[in-house]
Amino acid sequence: MLSAQDTQLLTRVGPGAPMGDLLRRYWNPALMSSELPAPDCTPIRVKLLGENLVAFRDTSGRVGLIADRCPHRGASLFFGRNEDDGLRCVYHGWKYDVEGRCLDMPNEPEESRFKDKFRHIAYPCVERAGMVWTYMGPLALKPPFPEYPWNLVPDDHVEVSKRVIQNNWMQSLEGGIDSSHVAYLHNEGGGQRQIRNANSATQNLTRQDTAPRFELMEIPAGVLIAAQRNAPEDRYYWRINIFMLPFWTAPPGGIGPATRLTAWEPMDDFTLMRWNIYFNPERPLTPEERAQCHQVGGVDLGNEEYLPPTTQPGGAFHGIRNEENDYMIDRELQRTQSFTGIVGIGTQDQAMTETMKTDNLGPILNRTLEHLGTSDSGVIAARRILLRAARKLRDENVAPPGTGDPSVFRYTAAGIVLPRQESWVEAARSFFAAPKAMSAWPSEGQRWR
């Protein structure tokens, strides 16, 4: 369990919070490029790390991400006019470009030059893999753009989906690196989803061996979490999951040859955006594979059936299965085919993490009440890495792991079956998604048990 102080440090992400300061030192996805489909299109609301922002694509096609409140009198810039390479507040006409410069102040005398004396809050943006990424930390400390594997391939190799989840980000992240729950929560009776890099003989091993043994190995920007399960013919099945700073997880699985990574990105202390990124390092995804990334069935995390969109932050990405309707649980399905009776792996996860509430903290779990076991080794390691990095930044001004070397993020997950005497560490090299980054693979000396 965690102390109340460590729970506070781990979960709070707003401006000035130590964990919020840590997360702001990384490049984070802010929205899909498709949400701003054309120059001078309608601006949209974005909420990220507790900050209310507005995104717009200017006349030249550049994306701006600026604070929602106009610095003049605080009116919302969401209602602004997107025109002539800037967003103009409709209250008094003040106009801002993507870098936060005030381009025009029509209600002030021309000779005042007041518009040149300040900058509005604006965060730099980069478009890659169909996403708009932003950096919200000190500009002088802006790190190189991270070399996550899907950022190293053409955009047509990548498919992205996302959904709003109504709980603190750590609850969902911890579920993303928890291999032991898969045998229960995602047990669909007669069916079992295909596991990437595992042949047909291994597809039921996760369900058959429900008490895996864990080995962990720290990597420069996170930890590898290997769950060992018994397999026929004196072998082990290794389900190798990954946690990468600041909030990425990668369990084995995907669509055909495409692999998946997930971001559990805090919108604020009580809400997160779950990003699923599917990519194929070798070729473009087919239309059929792209459709599978969003389907309702049990092979995938997508199941992106949404409520009618609103203009609120993330308002187009709320699932129709939610806490208000008990995630449309089907008790007959639960009795006959599905362990949960809830359709979709992503919704099954969401039902568990959104209902992890405590009286005094709301959607933030009170971790002083936990009783963790050996199956929680990965969760413990991820917490340790995050808390250590946040404290070092706060107390010693030590730069967060990975911010100085973008290549340390070149990892994906794997599911492999090996003779019992063989090392999963060495074998997992061959399933790496970005072969040119093999030098980043850790040594045996960094391995944990």
Helix (H, G, I), strand (E, B) or coil at 368: helix
Question: Who has greater pLDDT, 325 or 369?
Answer: 325
Judge whether 258 lies within some domain: yes
pLDDT tops 90 at residue 296: no
Judge whether 11 lies within some domain: no
Q: Which of 37-51, 106-120, 349-363 has the highest mean pLDDT?
A: 37-51
Contact 279, 374 (CB under 8 A): no
pLDDT tops 80 at residue 108: yes
Q: How many CA atoms, within 13 angstroms, populate the side-chain half-sphere of residue 410?
A: 21
For the chain, how are helix, strand and coil distributed in percent, rounded to 5? Answer: 30, 25, 45
In terms of domains, do 319 and 427 share one? yes
In terms of domains, do 207 and 283 share one? yes
Where is average pLDDT lowest: 127-136, 198-207, 226-235, 315-324? 198-207
CATH number for the domain harbouring residue 57: 2.102.10.10
Mark which of 84, 110, 141 sits at the end of a domain.
Answer: 141
* Helix (H) or strand (E) segment spanning residue 45: strand 44-48
- Rounded Cα distance between 98 and 132, Å, is 13
Read off the pLDDT of residues 235-278 as tens digits, 9 standing for 90 and up: 888 888 899 999 999 877 655 555 788 999 999 999 999 998 98
Q: Using 50, 70 and 90 to split pLDDT, how confident is the model at 431?
A: low
Judge whether 244 lies within some domain: yes
* Residue the block writes with tokens 């944990």: 448
In terms of domains, do 166 and 241 share one? yes
* Residue the block writes with tokens 């107390």: 395
In terms of domains, do 130 and 198 share one? no
pLDDT tops 70 at residue 180: no
Judge whether 101 lies within some domain: yes
pLDDT tops 50 at residue 440: no
In terms of domains, do 91 and 210 share one? no
Question: Who has greater pLDDT, 183 or 275?
Answer: 275
Question: Who has greater pLDDT, 186 or 392?
Answer: 392
Q: What is the mean pLDDT of residues 170-192?
A: 68
Where is average pLDDT lowest: 136-145, 392-401, 434-443? 434-443
DSSP track, 194-229: --TT--GGGTTHHHH--S-EEEEEEETTEEEEEEEE
Judge whether 159 lies within some domain: yes
In terms of domains, do 123 and 153 share one? no
Judge whether 420 lies within some domain: yes
Q: What is the mean pLDDT of residues 231-237?
A: 88
pLDDT tops 80 at residue 52: yes
Encoding tokens for residue 117? 């004396």
What domain range is 262 assigned to? Answer: 149-448
Q: What is the pLDDT of residue 377?
A: 85
- Rounded Cα distance between 85 and 35, Å, is 18
In terms of domains, do 94 and 161 share one? no
In terms of domains, do 71 and 217 share one? no
Q: Using 50, 70 and 90 to split pLDDT, how confident is the model at 232?
A: confident
Rounded to a whole number of angstroms, the CA Rg of the chain reads 23
In terms of domains, do 32 and 166 share one? no
Q: What is the mean pLDDT of residues 290-294?
A: 79
Where is average pLDDT lowest: 30-34, 78-82, 203-207? 203-207
Mark which of 123, 141, 159 sits at the end of a domain.
Answer: 141
In terms of domains, do 292 and 410 share one? yes
pLDDT tops 80 at residue 298: no
Number of structural domains in the chain: 2
pLDDT tops 90 at residue 75: yes
Q: Using 50, 70 and 90 to split pLDDT, how confident is the model at 353?
A: confident
Judge whether 9 lies within some domain: no
DSSP track, 9-23: HHH--STT-HHHHHH
Judge whether 19 lies within some domain: no
In terms of domains, do 241 and 162 share one? yes
Q: What is the pLDDT of residue 258?
A: 58
Question: Who has greater pLDDT, 428 or 279?
Answer: 279
Mark which of 112, 141, 170 sits at the end of a domain.
Answer: 141
In terms of domains, do 243 and 293 share one? yes
The percentage of the chain sitting over the pLDDT mark of 90, rounded to a whole number, equals: 49
pLDDT tops 60 at residue 170: yes
